[in-house]
Amino acid sequence: MCTYQTTTLGVSGSGKGARGWFPLTDATVYFDHPVHASAEHTLNIDLRNPERGPDSRVAVELDPDAARALAEAILRTLEAVPQALRTAARSV
């Protein structure tokens, strides 16, 4: 099935796409049919900078278990970092 389940959010950081590194401004997270992965549905993430054009995009299509493990790893990693470093990172 085509779930259309989509969430969009603003992000800041950098990503490396087909033309090299670029600043990220937007993310789209959705659970739907993949373009490339060999599964009927995957958790897909597009990290984008629409102002730089449609190809300024870093895309992943993840198995749902892998996506959850990745999300948990991200949260674990962030929680292990001292609060002062996270605050300092934002002010650089």
Partner 1 sequence: MTDAMRAETVQFPGDGGDTIEAYLAQPLDGPPTGGVVVIHHMPGYDDGTKEITRRFAAMGYLAVCPNLYYREAPGASPDDAAATARAQGGVPDDRLVGDVAAAASHLRALPTSNGKVATIGYCSGGRQSFLAACSLDLDAAVDCYGAFVIAPPPEGLPLKVTPLGDRAGDLSCPILGLFGSEDQYPSPDEVAELESVLTDAGKPLEFHTFEGAGHAFFATDRSSYRPEAAVEGWQRIADFFVRHLATD
Residues that bind partner 1 (CB under 8 A): 1-6, 8, 26, 28, 30, 32-33, 35, 38-40, 46, 48, 50, 53-55, 57, 59
**CB nearer to partner 1: pick between 29 and 70:** 29
Question: Closest separation between CB of residue 87 and partner 1, Å?
Answer: 30
Q: What single-letter DSSP state applies at residue 19?
A: T
Transcribe 27-76 into DSSP letters: EEEEEE--SSSSSS-EEEEEEE-GGG-TT-EEEEEE-HHHHHHHHHHHHH
| Distant-in-sequence, close-in-space partners of 51: CB < 8 Å, separation ≥ 6 | 25
Residue number, 26 or 70, with CB nearest to partner 1: 26
- Beta carbon nearer to partner 1, 1 or 85: 1
* Partners of 48 in beta bridges: 26, 57
Least separation, in Å, of the C-beta of 75 and partner 1? 22
